Amino acid sequence: MAKSTLSFVCQNCGAAYNRWQGKCDACGEWNTLAEEDSTGNVPVSIRSKRKGRTFALESLSGKSHDAPRLSSGMTELDRVTGGGFVRGSVLLVGGDPGIGKSTLLTQATSMMARAGHRAVYISGEEAVAQVRLRAERLGLANAPVQLASETSVEDIVSTLSEGTVPRLIVIDSIQTMWTDTVESAPGTVTQVRASAQALIRFAKKTGAAIILVGHVTKDGQIAGPRVVEHMVDAVLSFEGEGSQQFRILRAVKNRFGPTDEIGVFEMTGLGLREVSNPSELFLSERDLGSPGTAVFAGIEGTRPVLVELQALVAPTSLGTPRRAVVGWDPSRLSMVLAVLEAHCGVKLSGHDVYLNVAGGLRIQEPAADLAAAAALVSSLVNAPLPTDAVYFGEISLSGAVRPVAQTSARLKEAAKLGFGRAVLPESARGDASDAGLALNSVGGLTTLVAEIAARGTPRGNHQAPRDDEPVEKNATPARFRREKS
C-alpha cells in the first residue's frame, strides 16, 4: 500500500508544502494552508501499475453531431449558457452567499421537471424541508423535481445511476460534498477536487447535465482550487449588490458558447423574475437633472444595454486624492483622468474621484470611456448633462474619440427607450444615419469638455432645471421623469 503523506495545501490556490507556513508563497494569501492527505488525489486503482488499453484514434473530419442542448425554460439562463444545457456537460455556478443561486437553480430544475425531464436537486446545505419551503414560496411545490439532502458523492452517483438518466442534476454546493476516496475533511481543496472529478466522470458517462454550485471567497473567486474551474465546461457567476434587486448571471468560461452574454434577473418576493429588457430596469431609478450622471449605450454580448454612469468629483482633503470605482475597470478610469488632465486642461489632482455604474452592472467595454468622461466633467463643473442624451465611444491616449462596434444597435435601443440624441465618435456617423436620433459627433475629447463646461454653473449655485423649462421638458423621455414630491 502506498505510504500516506501528509502535506499542507493552500485552500485558495491549491499549492502544496511540506511544512506549515503562515503565508502561501504561490498566491500570497495568509492563513490558507491546511493539512491534507495528498496521496488521496489519485485513486489507488489508477496508481497501480497496469498495462495500458489500446483505443481507436479518430480523424478530424469524422461526423460530429451537434452538441444536443436542452432548454432550461428560462430565456435569460439559456442566453448565458449559449442556448441551453449541453448533455454530459458540467457547469459551475458561483456567487456570494444569499445572492440567489439556490433560488435560480430551484426554478431551473422545476421548469425542466415540468417539461417532463428527470430533474434532480441535491442539497448538501439545506434539509429537504427547507428546500420544499423555498419551492412553496416560489409557487413550484407541485413540480415533479426529485429532491434529496445528501453529501456523499458515492451515494449520489449510485442513486442516480438507477432508472432513467437524469437530464439535469443540481449539486448545491460542491463544497459540502465528500468522497470516500480521499481522507481530507469536506470543503478542503482535495475533497472538492475529488468530488468534482467523480461527478464530472458521471456526467460524461451518462450524458446528464450537472450544475455545481460553488461558494465565492471574499475576493470574488470561487472557493476551492482553481482546478475545479478548469475541470468544468462552463463557469457562470451570479452577481449583484445585496441591497438591490438586480441579479446578473455572467459566463466567465464556456466551452459551448459565448462568454460575453449576460442574463438579467430581478429578485422579487416570488423568486427571480427574468428581465428581458435590462435597459429599462437600469434606467428606472434615474436621478434626472443632477450633475455627474451620463447614460452609456453599451453592448453586453449580443444585446444593447443602456446604463447610467454616476461620477462625483469633489475637492480632496487628503494628500493623495481618492480614486474609487464600482462596476468599471479602475485602470480605465485612471486613463480617462490622465487624458482629461493632459489634453483637455482639466485639473483633477486636487479632487477625489468616484465613479459608479448604476444597478450593479459591471461594464467591460472600452466604449464606456466617453460616457465616463462626460459624467466626470459634468460633476466637476457642476453642469447637468442633457437628460435625453446617450454617450458611447472609446477614448485614445491622444484624446481622440475612436469608433466602437455596433453603433446602430446602440442607437436603436436608445431611440426605443425615448432618448433624443446621441454623443458618439465622429467616424461612427455613417452607421448611424437612420436611427432617428439627433447625432452629436465628437472627434476629440476637448470638444466635449468645452461643450459641457459651457453649461456649467459654479458649485453651490446650481438649481435643478425647472419642469416648465421648454428644453428640458421636451428633452426628458416621459417614462424616466421622476415624480417630484
138: contact with ligand TYD by CB under 6 A? yes
# of chain residues touching ligand TYD (CB under 6 A): 15
Q: Closest Cα to residue 312, out of 328, 291, 335, 339? A: 291
Query: Which range of residues in 145-153, 264-272, 341-349, 431-439 is near ligand TYD by CB under 6 A?
Result: 264-272
C-alpha–C-alpha distance, residues 311 and 355, integer Å: 4
293: contact with Mg ion by CB under 5 A? no
Q: Which is nearer to ligand TYD, 273 or 481 (CB)?
A: 273
Phi and psi (nearest 5°) for 74? -120, 115
Residues 6+ apart with CB under 8 A from 392: 296, 297, 298, 367, 368, 370, 371, 404, 407, 410, 422, 423, 424
C-alpha–C-alpha distance, residues 349 and 380, integer Å: 12
102: contact with Mg ion by CB under 5 A? yes
For residues 328 and 438, the answer to whether their CB atoms sit within 8 Å is no
Q: Which is nearer to Mg ion, 101 or 332 (CB)?
A: 101
Q: Which is nearer to ligand TYD, 114 or 323 (CB)?
A: 114
98: contact with ligand TYD by CB under 6 A? yes
269: contact with ligand TYD by CB under 6 A? yes
396 dihedral zone (left: phi>0; alpha: psi -120 to 50; beta): beta
Query: Which range of residues in 97-105, 297-305, 365-373, 451-459 is near Mg ion by CB under 5 A?
Result: 97-105
237: contact with ligand TYD by CB under 6 A? no
C-alpha–C-alpha distance, residues 224 and 186, integer Å: 11
Query: Which range of residues in 53-61, 92-100, 203-211, 383-391 is near ligand TYD by CB under 6 A?
Result: 92-100
Q: How far is the CB of 138 from ligand TYD (least distance, A)?
A: 6
- What is the sign of the dihedral through the CA atoms of 481, 445, 355 and 77? positive
95: contact with ligand TYD by CB under 6 A? yes
| Contacting residue, 23, 42, 47, 97, with ligand TYD by CB under 6 A | 97
109: contact with Mg ion by CB under 5 A? no
Residue 399 interacts with, from ligand TYD, Mg ion, none (CB under 5-8 Å by kind): none
Query: Which range of residues in 48-56, 265-273, 296-304, 440-448 is near ligand TYD by CB under 6 A?
Result: 265-273
Residue 270 interacts with, from Mg ion, ligand TYD, none (CB under 5-8 Å by kind): ligand TYD
Query: Which range of residues in 98-106, 223-231, 409-417, 437-445 is near Mg ion by CB under 5 A?
Result: 98-106
C-alpha–C-alpha distance, residues 385 and 290, integer Å: 8
Q: Could you tell me which residues are beta bridge partners of residue 300? A: 303
Counting Cα atoms < 13 Å in the Cβ hemisphere of 31 gives 0
Q: Which helix (H) or strand (E) holds 234?
A: strand 234-239
- What is the sign of the dihedral through the CA atoms of 252, 256, 261 and 263? negative
Q: Which is nearer to Mg ion, 102 or 293 (CB)?
A: 102
Q: Which is nearer to ligand TYD, 102 or 378 (CB)?
A: 102
Q: Which is nearer to Mg ion, 104 or 340 (CB)?
A: 104
Q: Which is nearer to ligand TYD, 266 or 451 (CB)?
A: 266
Distances (CA, A) of 416 to 283, 295, 413, 477, 478: 13, 14, 5, 11, 13
Query: Which range of residues in 94-102, 302-310, 348-356, 402-410 is near Mg ion by CB under 5 A?
Result: 94-102
393: contact with ligand TYD by CB under 6 A? no
103: contact with ligand TYD by CB under 6 A? yes
102: contact with ligand TYD by CB under 6 A? yes
Please confirm whether the linkage preceding 173 is cis (ω < 30° from 0): yes
236 dihedral zone (left: phi>0; alpha: psi -120 to 50; beta): beta
Residues making contact with Mg ion (CB under 5 A): 102
Residues making contact with ligand TYD (CB under 6 A): 95, 97-103, 134, 137-138, 267, 269-271
